[in-house]
Structure 1
Amino acid sequence: MIADPQLSVAIIAGTYRQDAESDFRDLPAVRNNVAKLGRHLRDPEVWGLPAGRCHERLQPRRDELLELVSDAAASARDTLVFYFAGHGFIHPRTEDLYLALAGARRDRGFGTKAVRFKDLQAALQEPSVEVRHKVIILDCCFAAAAFGDEMGVEDVDHKLRTRGSCLLVSSDADRTSKAPEGAEYTAYTGELIATLEQGVAGGGELLTLQTIHEHVEERLIAARMPRPRMLGVDVGGAICIARNRAPADRAVPPQPAAPTAETPLDEALSRVLAEKLTPSRRIQLGHALSWKLLPDYQPHPGERLMALIDDSWPTSRATFLAFTTRALILRSRGLSGAVTSVLSLADLRRAELRLRQRNPVGNAVLSYLQTAGTRRAQRVDRVNGLDVVVDDRPYRVPDSTLGPRATEDLIAEIRAAVLHHGHG
């Protein structure tokens, strides 16, 4: 379901011109970014935000921008979108991400000529804020520094503390974004605008943020541009603020449900799951399980749910591990609640599986028990968890009914099938 435009608010902001005191260059394309993106969000064929609920701000002052964000967050009830384009930079001592405003410098003026990302977060977390979903889009250098210290999912969940949030960024924590000289738009926003204008073939009637991100990522990588990042806290990737404008005749038709229509990869995935899993109260296995088992996930056309390992009790699905014909879905507990991560099969191709060891205190206790020769020590494993690491970013696998080693073996077999047959 698309977010209700009458109950949503968007802030589209950017800094395109710097003064003589600044050591940043002008970014003329940002002016076009803001105007075009705002126009699309107001377009009824895309989202249909009322003009009074779509605020465009060029060259904003720090206090003005923070006040606008605070007021918008308090007035929105469905979805709040915050977009910023311009220069981003890292404080040399605190390593916090700052968004550069007019007159910003890298050596001073952090409190007046720039906005600290943490201050924006504070505005989004005020007690008066009751909005369901928050979408943050940063098109600036070092934007992924907003993810937190180690770019870990749990770190971000702890920092954002926002159920149903989604953070989209144009570059990694140590990369600069691209704004080609003479281009109409910056590289990232240009592809975002193109996606809203042209739609995504096979993306369904509505475009989730996950679909938009994957499409933009694919186009940027093909153009040898920096890889964008996305982090959806809880079900953030399923937030929808756009209709798909791709013509129906260009859409990829849904795959038939009949087993005979399976691709070699589908067959290989089904075979691995059937060999490694035994159906039980906690483990559901089938050719095409009902999507009602994952009500917050919006599947792609033709995508099938093949297995669900529910680790919650009794059936709340607070944590689970799910396998589809397109993705691995992980829902684990973070520091401030459950976190859902969707890893595509393409992500699994370059993933590394990493077993987590118990902390030093736990290891010391185990060593003592083993030294004492207790029978219990022989049954205790020093491994207490599993991460799937993609592009140096760890995604926590829930504490599966299978145990971390068996889960590692299962995901490794799935990854091997993907590498052998391709990922579609």
Structure 2
Amino acid sequence: MVLPDPRRSRAVLVGVDDYEHLTPLPGVALGVDRLADLLRDPTVWGLPRDNVTVLRGEVSAGRILKEVRNAGEAATETLLVYFGGHGLRECRSKELYLALADADKDHLTIGTLRYAALRDMVRHEEFPARRRMMFLDCCYSGLATSMGGGSAAVLERYDLANLLVEQGAGEGDPGEGDDTDFGGYVMTSASGTEKSYTPAGSYPLFTGALIEALQKGIPGAGPTLSVHGVWRHVLKQRIGSTPQYKALNTQAEEPWVRNRAVDARPAVPPRRVLPAEPDPAPSPDARSDELKFTTVKGGGYRIGAVKGQMEGVIAKVEDPRLGWQAVSPHFRTVPGRWFWGWDRAEVDAHIEERRAEPTEFVDALRLLLARQGVTVLPDGGPLIGQLPSRYAKKGAVTFTKTDLCLKSSAARMSIPYSELQSVALTTSQRSYASGVPGPEGQWPDNNVAFITHVIHGHRSLEFREDSPTPVRRALRAFLPAMADLRGRHPEWFRMDP
């Protein structure tokens, strides 16, 4: 798997180091500046300089929310938000407040930013980013995971408690009807009952452990690091508190940044022999003379499949007209967790390095759709009704070579790709009762309908579905991807391609 595209990602880093009524934290300013440098470093992630916003000193709550809003509207891949400073808690409601320069610990509504307000901004449903990350380094930051105190090992299992996707749900109440399309992460420096620590003249301990993971890498962790992997590493450091982690709609080891320690790793990982069953790990001599990737246990590509099919995959990615036929995963994976294969991220990166940039709009459209899991018809074909020749179809959405075509139960709409910038998309959900009412007039079932409105000029189409697919998710992924393509190749959209 490849890293999130840094050109389509944004980061907002907030470090409040000087306080009027609270203890100053000079190490916070050092930490936020170093984090910004590392996120911009091509050997870590490579965010463009303008894609990283750093806020320090006497920044206001309104300024923070505006910068997060701006970053959220611009990011189509990943939105990252970091806060370092003092954290205050309201004991009765167990609500977290992020302390700003003029915070008053006796009056929490003065000089603070409610975490709930920041969370709601990050999780805004109209933001196109497919991944949202939050890192909090402050006292009581674990309140952001809605679990209060407790061990991190226990918290990790309650994925639905992630407050990136809840609105006020507490423990045992994971929220009803949540249908977020993005993947979310929250990592905090402490539990909801613990303080965080900042030594004099140094980074805050949690931020320092995070910086160390990015700066030095994690030996033996593979060529890339995930948020979950970084959290596991930070959890082992002695920082005086228990870092917390939450995730939703994500794979546990989805790559985030490059691992700088990859060169210090042995060519073949140490073999762990289990007495209960034999270890089928291949010897180093079993590697191909031409293809050399790290051998991993569980989830890797079948080595034989990579050797036998790599030439064909490379031939496709090097041809702009055929590149859409070769989209990860490229090969079959090994079954179970005890069998060895080649590291998928390394193999995928090897293939992506050779992918040719499409030179024609049709080829770019094929690749864009294939990456979203939409089945593309190589030669097109007729479609019954008034819609143009079919190019690819996903439920009520049809993609042709020139238009985005929609068909609801009541009407149809055809939108040229050159006019997609004027399309508005709104989504909502409604609860409704179904079934046969009981003797006391109660309805036995309570269901949720997903409502999607597509507005183009004076026309509007409404889709009512019992699940957020296919119209809602198809369009919320397709429209930002096409906007990104338009930004890179505006010449393709000056007229109908």
Cα deviation code 1:41-67 (max 9, x no counterpart)? 111111111111100000220100011
Number of the residue aligned with 1:358: none
Number of the residue aligned with 1:159: 166
Number of the residue aligned with 1:202: 220
Matched, 1:45 2:71: no
Cα deviation code 1:159-210 (max 9, x no counterpart)? 176531111111111111111123x211011111111111111111111112
Structure 2 vs 1, CA of residues 241 and 255 (structure 1 numbering), >3 Å: closer, same or farther?
closer
TM-score, reference length from structure 1: 0.59
Number of the residue aligned with 1:263: 273
Matched, 1:15 2:21: no
Matched, 1:6 2:19: no
Displacement of 1:107 in angstroms is 1.9
Residue 11 of structure 1 aligns with an amino acid whose one-letter code is V
The match for 2:296 among 295, 302, 325 is 302
Q: Distance in 2 between matches of 1:6 and 1:191?
A: 26
Q: Distance in 2 between matches of 1:32 and 1:238?
A: 29
The match for 1:178 among 177, 197, 201 is 197
SS class of match (1:246): helix
Runs of 5+ consecutive residues of structure 2 not aligned to the other structure: 149-154, 168-177, 282-293, 301-334, 340-497
Displacement of 1:253 in angstroms is 4.2
TM-score, reference length from structure 2: 0.50
Larger RCO (CA under 8 A, 6+ residues apart):
1
Q: Distance in 2 between matches of 1:104 and 1:129?
A: 30
Q: Distance in 2 between matches of 1:324 and 1:141?
A: 38
Displacement of 1:244 in angstroms is 1.1
Q: 1:337-416 maps to which residues of 2 (within 5 A)? A: none
Q: 1:292-331 maps to which residues of 2 (within 5 A)? A: 302-304=296-298, 324=337
Structure 2 vs 1, CA of residues 46 and 305 (structure 1 numbering), >3 Å: closer, same or farther?
closer
Number of the residue aligned with 2:209: 191
Q: 1:212-291 maps to which residues of 2 (within 5 A)? A: 212-218=230-236, 220=237, 223=238, 225-235=240-250, 237-248=252-263, 250-255=264-269, 263-264=273-274, 267-268=275-276
Runs of 5+ consecutive residues of structure 1 not aligned to the other structure: 272-285, 289-299, 307-321, 327-424
Instruction: Supply the RMSD in Å over aligned alpha carbons.
Output: 2.7
Q: Distance in 2 between matches of 1:240 and 1:122?
A: 25
SS class of match (2:98): strand
The 8 Å contact of residues 134 and 165 in structure 1, kept in 2 or not, is answered as yes
Displacement of 1:301 in angstroms is 5.7
Q: Distance in 2 between matches of 1:247 and 1:205?
A: 5
Q: Distance in 2 between matches of 1:82 and 1:236?
A: 20
Number of the residue aligned with 2:85: 86
Residue 166 of structure 2 aligns with an amino acid whose one-letter code is K
Query: Going by fraction, where is helix more abundant, 1 or 2?
Result: 1
Structure 2 vs 1, CA of residues 50 and 174 (structure 1 numbering), >3 Å: closer, same or farther?
same
Residue 248 of structure 2 aligns with an amino acid whose one-letter code is V
The 8 Å contact of residues 10 and 47 in structure 2, kept in 1 or not, is answered as yes
Q: Distance in 1 between matches of 2:338 and 2:72?
A: 37
Number of the residue aligned with 1:146: 144
Q: Distance in 2 between matches of 1:323 and 1:87?
A: 45
Q: Distance in 2 between matches of 1:32 and 1:203?
A: 27
SS class of match (1:324): coil
SS class of match (2:166): helix
